[in-house]
């Protein structure tokens, strides 16, 4: 049997484009991503504010697009893909994280799947596969919907290397969480590990090809995917095996992949390989053997993360968790926005980001709109460190608008508006 393969390279701004091209071909992406099918570039936005390692980097997106165009893929068959969550504003995030300028510069379609896209019942999309689900039938006894456009499309996930307070690590597998489930995805949090396995089964059934390109130029430790300590690590990874690339990233961060539940479940289900001994590392073998000794997400959890654990897996589950499936749920969205956007980011982000922003990658981010690329990468990134654009009072002021958007677009309120509109028409 063919071993799972993960490509890994060290990189720097001046060679990043060449490195991404080499990386993807080392991982064999052209054998996976069919040219005659559309390809969704699934962008990761874990925070609408810029925070190193939290979201897809502009050079990651740029590198993937340029590699595909150089290899003869049709620009008209490629599109960026965004999802929305109840606490993340994707429209703001694609601007703050400088992903939108990349999409526009390459003339790609920019698809927000919650805006005007048709969603289809999961049973219509995958048929009897639903009988194999570990948990989604119990979470959504009436079924759920996925984007119709995904059926028959390729998908390339664009995650980053980081930790997560729910799943220890997050990467390629969890990047499907936003794309395949709608705003009620938080209903799955108590069974998040099983959910990721179910979603991987769905992906393997509906997509023409599934591939992942992971950016580790910045890597995040601590209570991710937002309130992390970012480090400059200068590595990039790629694989057609979503389990294997997450396993290699977990090992780089210092964790045993087989001790992480979602990876173990997927491995045991035959959906990929999470055993590092059985994964072929191609590219930079030395980089692939590093151990960064991250402390992980649980040692110094934020107040918000501790409360989430109490609600989903602790003593508050019975008295509180039920409310998240009712019209009362927006209390949790408000609490998250207030804590993360109005408190944590304005007061703590700047200090934790300082070293990353002073790095060449930080300078590249600051000057992104003005940096000229050559065939290898970005040779001149400037000398001035990047600034955190929305710390302090600016972040606090912006969070007020985000809070309004959060409440206005809360699915519970939107459902009531649709029902009122329907009754008015009848």
Distance between CA atoms of 228 and 388, rounded to whole angstroms?
15
Domain around 18: 4-300
Residue 179 belongs to a domain: yes
Distance between CA atoms of 402 and 412, rounded to whole angstroms?
17
CA atoms 45, 301, 236, 174: torsion sign: negative
Copy the structure tokens of residue 325: 């499936």
Residue 419 belongs to a domain: no
Are the beta carbons of 340 and 304 closer than 8 angstroms? yes
How many CB atoms are closer than 10 A to CB 424? 7
Residue 341 belongs to a domain: no
pLDDT of residue 331: 82
What is the domain-level CATH number for residue 104? 3.40.50
Residue 407 belongs to a domain: no
Copy the structure tokens of residue 366: 């600051």
Distance between CA atoms of 426 and 420, rounded to whole angstroms?
10
Residue 353 belongs to a domain: no
pLDDT of residue 418: 47
pLDDT of residue 406: 66
How far is residue 268 from each of residues 27, 137, 254, 262, measured CA to CA in Å?
Answer: 23, 20, 22, 10
Nearest to 260 by CA among 186, 163, 180: 163
61-101 pLDDT, tens digit each: 999 999 999 999 999 999 999 987 778 889 999 999 999 99
pLDDT of residue 184: 82
Distance between CA atoms of 397 and 351, rounded to whole angstroms?
19
Residue 368 has pLDDT above 80, yes or no: yes
Q: Which pTM value belongs to this model?
A: 0.93
Exposed e or buried b per residue across 316-353, where buried means at least 16 C-beta atoms within 10 angstroms of its C-beta: eeeebbeebeeeebbebbeebbbbbbbbbbbeebbebb
Are the beta carbons of 178 and 159 closer than 8 angstroms? no
Question: What is the residue-averaged pLDDT of the chain?
Answer: 92
Question: What integer is the mean pLDDT of 332-353?
Answer: 90
150-181 pLDDT, tens digit each: 999 999 999 999 999 999 999 999 999 988 98
pLDDT of residue 86: 76
Residue 277 belongs to a domain: yes
**Number of domains comprising the chain:** 1
Residue 200 has pLDDT above 70, yes or no: yes
Could you tell me the pLDDT band of residue 417, with boundaries at 50, 70 and 90? low
pLDDT of residue 389: 60
Residue 422 has pLDDT above 50, yes or no: no
305-325 pLDDT, tens digit each: 999 999 999 999 888 888 888
Nearest to 346 by CA among 316, 289, 390: 390
98-110 pLDDT, tens digit each: 999 999 999 999 9
Question: What integer is the mean pLDDT of 257-284?
Answer: 98
Residue 317 belongs to a domain: no
280 φ, ψ (degrees, to nearest 5)? -85, 120
Distance between CA atoms of 43 and 273, rounded to whole angstroms?
24
Distance between CA atoms of 86 and 365, rounded to whole angstroms?
27
Residue 332 has pLDDT above 90, yes or no: no
Could you tell me the pLDDT band of residue 400, with boundaries at 50, 70 and 90? low
Residue 118: partners with Cβ closer than 8 Å, 6 or more residues away? 147, 148, 149
């Amino acid at each position: 049997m063919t071993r799972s393969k993960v490509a890994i390279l060290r990189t720097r701004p001046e060679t990043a484009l060449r490195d991404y091209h080499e990386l993807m071909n080392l991982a064999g992406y052209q054998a996976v991503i069919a040219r005659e099918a559309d390809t969704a570039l699934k962008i990761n936005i874990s925070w609408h504010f810029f925070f190193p390692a939290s979201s897809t980097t502009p050079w990651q997106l740029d590198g993937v697009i340029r590699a595909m165009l150089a290899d003869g893929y049709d620009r008209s068959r490629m599109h960026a893909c965004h999802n929305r969550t109840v606490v993340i504003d994707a429209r703001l995030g694609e601007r703050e994280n400088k992903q939108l300028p990349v999409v526009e510069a390459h003339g790609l379609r920019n698809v927000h799947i919650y805006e005007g896209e048709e969603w289809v019942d999961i049973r219509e999309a995958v048929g009897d596969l639903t009988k194999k689900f570990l948990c989604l039938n119990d979470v959504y006894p009436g079924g759920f919907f996925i984007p119709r456009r995904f059926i028959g499309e390729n998908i390339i996930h664009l995650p980053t290397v980081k930790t997560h307070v729910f799943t220890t690590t997050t990467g390629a597998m969890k990047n499907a969480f936003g794309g395949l489930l709608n705003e009620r995805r938080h209903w799955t949090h108590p069974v998040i590990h099983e959910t990721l396995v179910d979603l991987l089964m769905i992906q393997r059934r509906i997509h023409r090809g599934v591939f992942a390109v992971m950016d580790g130029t910045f890597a995040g430790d601590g209570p991710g995917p937002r309130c992390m300590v970012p480090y400059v690590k200068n590595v990039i990874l790629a694989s057609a095996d979503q389990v294997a690339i997450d396993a290699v990233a977990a090992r780089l961060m210092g964790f045993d992949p087989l001790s992480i539940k979602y990876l173990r479940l997927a491995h045991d289900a035959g959906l990929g390989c999470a055993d590092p001994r059985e994964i072929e590392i191609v590219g930079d073998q030395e980089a692939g053997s590093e151990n960064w000794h991250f402390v992980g997400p649980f040692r110094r959890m934020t107040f918000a993360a501790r409360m989430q654990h109490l609600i989903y897996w602790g003593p508050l589950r019975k008295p509180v968790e039920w409310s998240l499936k009712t019209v009362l749920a927006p209390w949790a969205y408000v609490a998250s926005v207030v804590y993360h956007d109005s408190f944590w980011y304005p007061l703590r982000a700047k200090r934790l980001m300082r070293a990353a922003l002073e790095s060449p990658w930080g300078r590249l981010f600051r000057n992104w709109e003005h940096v000229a690329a050559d065939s290898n990468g970005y040779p001149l990134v400037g000398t001035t460190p990047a600034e955190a654009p929305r710390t302090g009072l600016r972040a606090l002021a912006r969070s007020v608008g985000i809070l309004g958007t959060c409440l206005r677009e809360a699915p519970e309120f939107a459902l009531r508006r649709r029902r009122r509109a329907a009754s008015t028409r009848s």
